[in-house]
Amino acid sequence: MPKATKKKSDHFEASMEELNALVERMENNSLSLEESLVCFEKGIALTKKCQEVLSVAEAKVKVFMAEDSTTDDQN
C-alpha cells in the first residue's frame, strides 16, 4: 500500500477515534459549557475532515466501478 494512502487512512481512523472520545466526554455531562463548546467545535472540524476523506474514497470507488463496467462491456 502506498505510504500517502496509508497516512490518510490512519488519519481517518485516528479522527474517528478522537471524535468518538469527544462524544463520550460530552455525553458524560461532566463538562462545563465552555468545555462542551470547545469539544463541539473540534468535533465539527473532525467530522468535516472525515467527510472529505470519505468523499475522495467514494469518487475513487465510482471510477473503479465505471472502469469495471467498461471492461465488462468489452468482453
| DSSP label at residue 31 | S
The residue-averaged pLDDT of 42-65 equals 94
Which tens digits make up the pLDDT trace of 14-53?
999 999 999 999 999 889 999 999 999 999 999 999 999 9
- HSE of 49, CA atoms in CB hemisphere, 13 A: 18
Which residue's C-alpha cell is 472529505? Answer: 52
In the chain, where the domains are located = 3-74
Fold of 3-74: Helix Hairpins (1.10.287)
Higher pLDDT, 45 or 11: 45
User: Kind and range of the H or E element at 17?
Assistant: helix 3-27
How confident is the model at residue 38, as a pLDDT?
95
N-term to C-term CA, the chain: 29
| DSSP label at residue 75 | -
How confident is the model at residue 70, as a pLDDT?
75
CA distance 54 to 61: 10
How confident is the model at residue 1, as a pLDDT?
47
